[in-house]
Structure 1
């Protein structure tokens, strides 16, 4: 394999690793906190609302938006690392 192809393979492996980690975080927050752990989290109040309810209604959306910005930052660093930034 050429060096260019090796770099492309390494780039996509790292990209997929980032995606897997970020999607796992989103899954844990949306499904885990919003559905599975809702009763335990409802014992805690956040702004007058039960925390489990908040994660199910708002928190998972906020976390998703934050993860988008984290992904952008990670991809910008990855692009620079492999010389793909313009």
Structure 2
């Protein structure tokens, strides 16, 4: 694999991961907190409607998980394409 094709494949993989993470971020923050809130509010979690819970706390937990997921996957992509920092 040439250096240029390696760089293109690396950025393609990086942008693919970023796209996936941003889609999850959007669905959790905007979707669960606003768009799907009326449907989710029919489910109770700890005495509160689920839509409210996602808007107030659930999205924060999901974002923290997304940070660790992104870091792990980005490390794998870096190693795969020889871009890791040692």
Instruction: Name the CA distance, whole Å, in 2 between partners of 1:68 and 1:33.
Output: 19
Q: How many residues of Structure 1 are paired with residues of Structure 2 in the alignment? A: 85
The aligned counterpart of 2:81 is: 82
- Secondary structure in 2 aligned to 1:58? helix
| CA distance in structure 2 between the aligned counterparts of 1:59 and 1:27, rounded to whole angstroms | 13
Query: Secondary structure, in 3 states, of the residue corresponding to 1:12?
Result: helix
With the length of structure 2 as denominator, give the TM-score of the two structures: 0.92
Counterpart secondary structure, 1:43: coil
Q: Residue 28 of structure 2 aligns with which residue?
A: 29
Unaligned runs of 5+ in 2: none
Cα distance in 2, alignment partners of residues 58 and 11 from structure 1: 34
RMSD of the alignment, in Å? Answer: 1.2
Instruction: After the TM superposition, list the runs of 4 or more consecutive aligned residues in structure 1 that deviate by more than 2 angstroms.
Output: none
Unaligned runs of 5+ in 1: none
